[in-house]
A and B are shown apart, each in its own frame.
Chain A
Amino acid sequence: MSTSLRNNTAVALAVAAFVLLLGGLALAFYWVPDAPLEGFRQRIFYIHVPVALTAYACFGWAAWKALRLLSTRDQRYDLESYTAVHMGVIFGILTLVTGSIWARTSWGVWWSWGERQLVLFLVLFLFYSAYFMLRYSVEPGPRRASMSAVYALFGVVLIPVSFLAIRLAEGLIHPVVFDRDIGSNLAGSQLLTFAVCLAGTLALAGALYANELTGKRIDARLSELREALE
């Protein structure tokens, strides 16, 4: 992809993110009625769940780029995979914090170690946080790229485990919205608001990813230039 096309994509994604998130916020606060059981606090759902799904998407994207690196040996995928992990960790922090706030208002506690969904997401987050330690403990080059790619690829296994944990377990307090009864769990207005917020969060992640990747590429090229000049 050419630099100008990449920059145009980043701008388009940023504009889309701004419009969709602003729209989603307006729908969540002024259009969607209070949920029967959760009441007003259910509105955290429109930020917490899209942010969590975006974190999964970023980690999935990082694994895909890692797979491309391992199959083609093309080093540009290393930076792309690394940037996706970086974005995933940022959205992971947001997931943990917004989830914790929701837990406090819903269950009366900031965290519950008995909840597999929470603990598995924390494990996934810590796993990808450790990616940076691994990456910066090895000298830059093809070896570091391969090691980072294998690590990013291993981590993706935790995503379906984390996602399905709540569905496979019984007697937990973490709510399950996306199951076979989605029609009765979410009203049409709630589903539409959620879709707008999810699209906005994904567009935001895309815009941040494109900008961060450009920054990292400039950084790498400046290092090459410095080595050539000095």
Chain B
Amino acid sequence: MTSAERYVTAAYLVVLGVLLAYLVIYAFKLSRLEREVGELAELARRRKEGPA
């Protein structure tokens, strides 16, 4: 592989890497949102059952 080929590959891989990193961060965000929805659903259920 020539030097130019290495640099061109690196440029394209950087773009791919940043997109993958974004995907990982977004997956963490989704799992946080899912957890929060679960907590709120639990809160809503407890309020519904609450002291009669």
A residues near B (Cβ < 8 Å) are 25, 39-41, 43-44, 47-48, 51, 90, 93-94, 97-98, 101-102, 104-105, 204, 208, 211-212, 215, 218-219, 222, 225-226, 229-230
Contact = CB atoms under 8 A, between A and B. Distances in A.
**From DSSP, what is the main secondary structure of chain B's interface residues?**
helix
Interface string B22-43: 1000100110010011001001
**From DSSP, what is the main secondary structure of chain A's interface residues?**
helix
Task: Give the top 8 A-B pairs by smallest Cβ distance, nearest first.
Answer: A105-B7, A41-B4, A40-B4, A101-B11, A98-B11, A44-B11, A43-B8, A229-B43
Contacts of A47: 11-12, 15
Nearest to B6: A105
A43 B12 CA distance: 10
Contact of B5 (A40, A211, A215): A40
Contacts of B36: 222, 226
Contacts of B4: 39-41, 105
Contacts, number: 64
B7 A94 contact: no
Contacts of A212: 26
A50 to B, nearest CB: 10
A215 B15 contact: no
Contacts of B44: 229
